[in-house]
């Protein structure tokens, strides 16, 4: 009564075949074969009447296989674009997969998806042209792909890359894998037992250019921490004198940070026009950038 991954994995099995025997059910346009026209119709109907149900009903669980998410990006210099990668590990004889991902639509908006470079499914020379966003609504995304030609694959590799964009001035985003499925055929489907979620975390330390620059009366400063660490962020004048300490040896978690300097000193007095420097320092990283206050 629902169009789910159980149907998707069977569709992959019959893709490219003549509409004979069991394949007739997947010749959705009556064209005599199971082709892309049928696939597009299938995708349009995926998830219909599934409310409150799981995306598949496998009879087995793969205790070794693991699906994991990785999220990076999100800075102003990257136009607040986030890349989320879906990885598979310790999969055996994989011919098709499906995954359901949840996110907070108040934090990010979904913008697109693709198989990504060097995908696992095609790592042995096979063809996996059916990658698709099978279902989406704000806060939920379902993707899948399958081999229509070539040998099944095993091991670790990339399954998909998903594009999101941070909303507003937020710097946090979390992505949760709700369900994952692997199939060696349309009849052999297993639920993935190990599902790892991700939150937006920088890959390396960074101090970004302030914006706007020149500025009046205030400017924004962003920096990135790949790990929890004590942070100091200080504004200096051209003579090296401390103007304002924005962060004073504060232990901060890994993440992206966004602060505003209002052009005032430690005592709350407005400073004069001119060049100033902002300096970020941690135990393993330090960097200085310049900015200009122009009144």
| CATH code of the domain made up of 206-293 | 2.60.40.4070
The residue ranges of every structural domain in the chain are: 61-199, 206-293
Predicted pLDDT at 44: 83
> pTM for the full model?
0.78
Residue linked to tokens 């900015």? 291
Classify residue 152 by burial, with Cβ atoms within 10 Å: 0-12, 13-18, 19+.
middle
Predicted pLDDT at 255: 85
- What would the pLDDT profile of 202-260 be if each residue is shown by its tens digit? 888 999 999 999 999 999 999 999 999 999 999 999 999 999 999 999 999 888 888 99
Residues in the chain where the model's pLDDT stays below 70: 1, 49-55
Q: Give the separation between CA 266 and CA 248, rounded to whole angstroms.
A: 12
Q: What is the 3-state secondary structure (H, E, C) of 112-163?
A: EEECCCCECCCCCCCECCCCEEEEEECCEEEEEEECCECCCEEEEEEEEEEE
Residue linked to tokens 């302030």? 210
Predicted pLDDT at 55: 67
CATH of 61-199, one of 3.40.50.150, 1.10.3720.10, 2.60.40.680, 3.40.190.10: 2.60.40.680
Classify residue 1 by burial, with Cβ atoms within 10 Å: 0-12, 13-18, 19+.
exposed
Residues in the chain: 295
Predicted pLDDT at 28: 87
Domains 61-199 and 206-293 fall in the same CATH topology = yes
Residue 292 CB neighbours (<10 A): 15
Predicted pLDDT at 49: 63
Cβ neighbours of residue 194 closer than 8 Å, sequence gap 6 or more: 63, 65, 66, 67
């Amino acid at each position: 009564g629902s169009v789910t991954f159980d149907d998707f994995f069977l569709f992959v099995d019959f893709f490219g075949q003549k509409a004979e025997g069991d394949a007739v059910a997947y010749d959705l346009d009556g064209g005599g074969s199971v082709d892309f026209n049928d696939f597009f119709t299938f995708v349009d109907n995926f998830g219909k009447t599934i409310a409150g149900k799981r995306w598949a009903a496998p009879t087995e669980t793969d205790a070794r296989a693991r699906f994991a998410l990785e999220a990076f990006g999100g800075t102003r210099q990257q136009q607040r674009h986030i890349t989320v990668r879906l990885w598979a590990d310790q999969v055996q004889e994989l011919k098709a997969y499906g995954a359901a991902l949840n996110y907070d639509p108040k934090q990010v908006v979904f913008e697109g998806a693709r198989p990504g470079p060097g995908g696992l499914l095609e790592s042995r020379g096979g063809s996996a042209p059916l990658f698709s966003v099978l279902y989406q609504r704000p806060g939920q995304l379902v993707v899948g792909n399958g081999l229509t030609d070539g040998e099944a694959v095993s091991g670790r590799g990339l399954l998909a890359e998903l594009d999101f964009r941070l909303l507003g001035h937020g710097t946090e985003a979390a992505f949760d894998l709700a369900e994952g499925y692997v199939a060696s055929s349309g009849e052999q489907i297993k639920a993935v037992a190990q599902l790892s979620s991700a939150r937006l975390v920088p890959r390396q330390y960074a101090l970004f250019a302030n914006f706007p620059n020149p500025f009046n009366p205030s400017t924004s400063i962003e920096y990135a921490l790949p790990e929890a660490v004590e942070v100091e962020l200080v504004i200096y004048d051209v003579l090296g004198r401390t103007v304002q300490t924005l962060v004073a040896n504060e232990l901060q978690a890994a993440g992206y940070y966004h602060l505003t300097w209002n052009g005032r000193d430690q005592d709350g007095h407005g400073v004069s026009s001119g060049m100033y420097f902002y300096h970020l320092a941690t135990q393993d990283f330090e960097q200085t950038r310049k900015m200009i206050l122009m009144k």
